[in-house]
Structure 1
Amino acid sequence: MTMPFDLSLYLITDSGLAGPRGVVETVRQAITGGVTLVQLRDPDATTRTLVDTATALLDVLRPYGIPLIVNDRVDVALAVGAEGVHVGQSDMPTDKVRQLIGPDRILGLSTSTFEQLAGDDLGPADYLGIGPLFATSTKPNASTPIGFDGLAAMVAKASLPVVAIGGIKAEHVERALAAGADGVSVISAIMAAEDPARAARDFADRIEHFRSQ
């Protein structure tokens, strides 16, 4: 059985956006603002750098009970004992990932089309990242933005929990949740923020307020 996880405010790291402050310190500040899940994503980093960063992030996250998800790199996730892996459509198939990580780790899958929602990859996954909602500079090769209407249509067809991804800012929270998403995935709005804790708190407060209505 997969460990529990909360998609509400899903932070994806970006070493370039973190700047001199660094990924680990940015995450350290952001989790005090209400981040519920963290994904280590750095496609240009060496394996050694990823292992070192993931290890440092685990030291920060575990006292708070926040899972660490590693993007794409199953080997890194297993090496450091991370709580999960997230893969895209061009990465290792989810059935192979599940065989490697076992039944207890979290497995996420990016989807951007209805055809992908109907594919075999969904079976072993625990949640879907659906988007991009908007165009985003953090992933230049991303698919065409789907907007809120596209998100709502895909959520209606999805059989798994959904986190909305792609260019999301705090002012988009209410519409993303109203479209049926279980949470929002954020990169630049927190990683590049002058005050990551305050930026995360803005998202978290909006999520809490929406759900209290």
Structure 2
Amino acid sequence: MPVNSSFPYPLYLVISEKDCLGKDFLKVAEKSILGGVDIIQLREKDASTGEFLYKALKLKEITDKYNIPLIINDHSEVTVEAGCAGIHVGNHDAAPSVLRSQQYFKDKIIGYSIEYLNQLENENTEVSDYLGISPVFSTDTKKDTITEWGLDGLSRIRSLTTKPLVAIGNVNFSNAAAIIKAGADTLAVVSAICGAENPEKAAYELKNEILK
């Protein structure tokens, strides 16, 4: 698969301490990078701002070491305070159009979750760097699902936009090739790496499947 030049990150890890099932999430993150992860998002839905920031700063030490962008899920304050590469937001978070108007986010990565087709026509999509197709398949790591897109839904979105598409939701080795074929530029994974016995090996195998 050719890498999208406007978002050159084919394997995207979404990580939280909880999803690492008792393993040190910082070690999981580093192993995943060694295995081929290109970009990491820290998602800590239940953490206080202080705890989230502490985790972001510790994780950023690792991502900076390997020159990997660190994205923060939903929390603009943590993104700014930790000096991260960008933010990913959904429909109930700060709007991409509002974020883009702020000085810090003028040249940062902004990702935007697509839950309805009509979002493709709004200003938030226009100013975002990539669209998170969320979820492609339902998953226990995201229980507030609006639309389970499936491969047909992903293909439909691909036909309607030239924006980079990041597929997330029960993405794993067995369906990776089909998701790419349906139109995704990037695979975002949670359990397939965070929950793996060997995160480095899991990342390596997924990356090879994407780049076939």
What TM-score bracket applies, with the shorter chain setting the length? over 0.9
* Aligned residue type for 2:32: A
- What corresponds to 1:58 in structure 2? 60
Measured after TM superposition, the shift of residue 172 of structure 1 is 1.2
Q: Does 1:191 align with 2:210?
A: no
Superposed, which structure 2 residues align to 1:88-103 within 5 Å?
Answer: 88-100=90-102, 101-103=104-106
Structure 2 counterparts to residues 1-213 of structure 1, below 5 A: 5-100=7-102, 101-209=104-212
Relative to the length of structure 1, the TM-score reads: 0.92
For each residue in 1:84-112, what CA deviation from the matched residue of structure 2 results, as whole angstroms up to 9, or x when unmatched?
00000111111111123332210000002
Conserved? CA contact 2:13–2:189, under 8 Å: yes
Give, as a single letter, the amino acid of the residue that structure 2 aligns with 1:174.
A
Note the C-alpha offset of 1:5.
4.5
Unaligned stretches of 5+ in structure 1?
A: none
Query: Runs of 4+ in structure 1 displaced over 4 angstroms?
Result: none
Q: Secondary structure at the match of 2:175?
A: helix
Q: How many residues align?
A: 206
Distance 1:206 1:109 in 2: 25
- CA offsets, 1:27-84, max 9 Å, x none? 0111111001100001101111111111111110112211000001000000010000
Give, in angstroms, the shift of residue 129 of structure 1.
0.5
**Cα distance between partner residues in 1 of 2:88 and 2:95:** 11
Rounded to whole Å, the distance in 1 between the matches of 2:203 and 2:91 is 28
**Cα contact 2:37–2:203 (8 A) shared by 1:** yes
Matching residue's letter, 2:84: A
Aligned to 2:3: none
The structural deviation recorded for 1:118 is 1.4
Give the secondary-structure state (helix, strand or coil) at the position aligned to 1:198. helix
C-alpha contact (below 8 Å) 1:130/1:151 kept by paired residues: yes
Runs of 5+ in structure 2 lacking a partner? 1-5
| Matched residue type, 2:100 | R
The separation in 1 between residues aligned to 2:65 and 2:210, in whole angstroms, is 23
Distance 2:115 2:105 in 1: 26
Structure (1 or 2) with the greater helix fraction: 1
Shift of 1:17: 2.0
* Identity value in percent: 34
3-state DSSP of counterpart to 1:56:
helix
Aligned-partner Cα distance in 2 for 1:15–1:110: 22
SS of 1:123's partner is: helix
Question: Over aligned residue pairs, what C-alpha RMSD do you find?
Answer: 1.3
Q: CA contact under 8 A between 1:6 and 1:37: conserved in structure 2?
A: no
